[in-house]
């Protein structure tokens, strides 16, 4: 009897040791990681704690899922932990066998994580899996946990331009320079007009010489732009009002120019020559492509936009050369060759944060989201959607976004520079216009006062004297020429 009990005890001990050894081997396998966790502890099997166990398929992509010290970590792993703690389930994570996200193969079957869910090899897929209409027809998606789009990833030195010969004009836009030229000409004309009308600047037109000719007015305005005092110096109040407003305008304008030009030089280069997908198609220096079989590739294939169709035709004809298999391969190729990668903008932001010589072009198209895929009619779809919404409302998703997208660059990313538009100087141009109007009004008032006094002495109407004064001052060159001819005939 004792020998029988001893035999049974040995058999049970041996089976227990073999079981623990098998669990240890499974735990150390980075491709198949039992990570069933809740808020209170780690569970190797959900059945032992009475919790349902879900098989989760994912894909290795930084920073969503990464292998660190024989364990998986990343944004999706943290998200999975939060969902498990909230919904009380345990899980087992497996990396997708073919390394694909999910697309229809030539045989009509789905590949990647979508295929594993359809074949019931996994219950859910937690990964940077884009929600598309084609995938939605065969599986169900939860509320997106990340919003993204399609962008262009570039290397800075491949898209940098040499400074143009007229680089000094870059701080202002063409519209701003046009407005500045118009304001200069209008101000100089007002100086010329007001100096002729004002009796304080030009009391006796027949006997005095007016220094504010049109050429002198142009010179006076140009001198103010260079912050230099030039002659002639204004005497009348009306002329001084216009001169003071023009000086104020030029000081503010020069300050804006210097500030924007300094920002342009400190940015390291002028605007990116590749701002949009149309710019990418027009250039011939860079090759461009995307992930083979990805939703981005099929977005361009199905798009009716002519630019998008040109991009698809380019990638389809050079499929073996420009399409890449993994995201890591795409980033490496951008860094090492003249290649532009078209892909998820949020992943490109991460690449630009990790590699300081990379940059994403400004345009983003095809707004989309990353969702958790489940089988159709799965009871977990709605539960997971509600849990994702709660995590978003509590700020946990923003925390994870900031945690895994933190930049490793030593310098802070500079803001994109742009030329100064006329709208930014609208108040300055308005002030100049008001000043010019006040100067002209002041000149008319000064001339009216003199005409009133002259009319009293000559016993004429004020209007007739004002009209004579106006005609005399605006036609001074003709009167001077006639007086010179008359004096010449008298001398003869």
Q: Is 208 annotated as a binding residue?
A: no
Q: Is 130 annotated as a binding residue?
A: yes
Distance CA 88, CA 212 (A): 88
Is 81 in contact with 91 (CB distance < 8 Å)? no
222-251 residues labelled b (16+ CB within 10 A) or e (exposed): eebbeeeeeebebebbbbbbbbebbeebbe
96-135 residues labelled b (16+ CB within 10 A) or e (exposed): beeebbbbbeeeeebbbbbbbbbeeebbbbbbbbbbbeeb
Q: Is 199 annotated as a binding residue?
A: no
What single DSSP character describes residue 315?
Answer: H
Give the residue among 355, 362, 166, 181 at the shortest CA–CA distance from 279.
362
Is 187 in contact with 221 (CB distance < 8 Å)? yes
**Where do the H-state alpha helices sit in 267-354?**
277-282, 295-302, 306-317, 319-322, 327-336, 345-354
Q: Residue 313 is encoded by which pair of tokens?
A: 């035709």
Q: Residue 54 is encoded by which pair of tokens?
A: 């879900």
Q: Which residue has the tokens 């977005």?
A: 299
Is 459 in contact with 211 (CB distance < 8 Å)? no
Within 8 A by CB and 6+ apart from 97, the residues are 116
Distance CA 120, CA 99 (A): 17
- Cα dihedral 104, 105, 109, 113 sign: negative
Strands 53-58 and 90-95: parallel
Q: Is 344 annotated as a binding residue?
A: yes
Distance CA 167, CA 173 (A): 12
Strand partners, 155: 358
**Long-range CB pairs of 230-234, under 8 A, 24+ apart, other chains included:** 234/195, 234/201
Distance CA 285, CA 7 (A): 78
Give the residue among 143, 53, 38 at the shortest CA–CA distance from 86.
38
Residues annotated in a binding site for L-glutamate = 128, 130, 135, 295-296, 344
Residues at the binding site are 128, 130, 135, 295-296, 344
């Amino acid at each position: 009897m004792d020998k029988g009990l001893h035999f049974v005890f040995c058999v049970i001990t041996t089976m227990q040791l073999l079981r623990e050894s098998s669990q240890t081997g499974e735990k150390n396998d980075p491709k198949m990681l039992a990570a069933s966790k809740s808020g209170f502890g780690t569970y190797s099997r959900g059945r032992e704690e009475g919790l349902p166990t879900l098989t989760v398929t994912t894909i290795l992509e930084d920073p969503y899922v990464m292998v660190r010290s024989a364990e998986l970590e990343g944004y999706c792993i943290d998200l999975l932990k939060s969902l498990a703690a909230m919904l009380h389930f345990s899980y087992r994570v497996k990396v997708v066998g073919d390394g694909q996200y999910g697309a229809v193969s030539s045989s009509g079957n789905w590949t990647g994580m979508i295929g594993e869910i359809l074949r019931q090899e996994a219950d859910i897929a937690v990964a940077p899996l884009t929600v598309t209409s084609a995938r939605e027809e065969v599986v169900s998606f939860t509320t997106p946990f990340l919003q993204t789009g399609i962008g262009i990833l570039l290397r800075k030195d491949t898209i940098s331009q040499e400074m143009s010969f007229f680089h000094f004009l870059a701080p202002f836009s063409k519209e701003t320079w046009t407005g500045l030229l118009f304001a200069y000409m209008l101000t100089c004309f007002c100086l010329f007009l007001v100096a002729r009308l004002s009796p304080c600047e030009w009391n006796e037109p027949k006997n005095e010489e007016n220094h504010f000719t049109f050429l002198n007015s142009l010179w006076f305005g140009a001198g103010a732009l260079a912050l230099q005092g030039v002659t002639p110096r204004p005497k009348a109040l009306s002329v001084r009002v216009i001169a003071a407003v023009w000086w104020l305008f030029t000081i503010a304008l020069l300050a804006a120019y210097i500030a924007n030009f300094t920002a342009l030089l400190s940015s390291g280069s002028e605007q990116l020559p590749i701002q949009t997908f149309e710019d990418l198609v027009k250039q011939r220096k860079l090759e461009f492509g995307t992930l083979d079989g990805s939703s981005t590739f099929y977005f361009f294939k199905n798009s009716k936009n002519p630019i998008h169709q040109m991009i698809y035709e380019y990638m389809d004809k050079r499929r073996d050369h420009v399409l890449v298999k993994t995201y890591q391969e795409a980033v490496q190729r951008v860094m090492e060759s003249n290649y532009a990668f078209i892909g998820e903008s949020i992943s490109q932001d991460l690449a630009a944060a990790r590699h300081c010589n990379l940059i994403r072009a400004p345009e983003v198209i095809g707004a989309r989201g990353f969702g958790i895929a489940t089988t159709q009619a799965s009871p977990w779809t709605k539960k997971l959607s509600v849990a994702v919404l709660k995590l978003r409302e509590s700020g946990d998703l923003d925390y994870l976004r900031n945690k895994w997208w933190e930049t490793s660059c030593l310098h802070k990313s500079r803001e994109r520079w742009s030329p100064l538009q006329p709208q930014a100087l609208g108040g300055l141009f308005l002030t100049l216009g008001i000043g010019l109007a006040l100067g002209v009004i002041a000149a008319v008032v000064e001339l009216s006062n003199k005409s009133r006094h002259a009319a009293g002495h000559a016993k004429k109407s004020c209007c007739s004297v004002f009209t004579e004064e106006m005609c005399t001052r605006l036609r001074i060159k003709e009167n001077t020429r006639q007086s010179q001819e008359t004096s010449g005939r008298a001398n003869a």
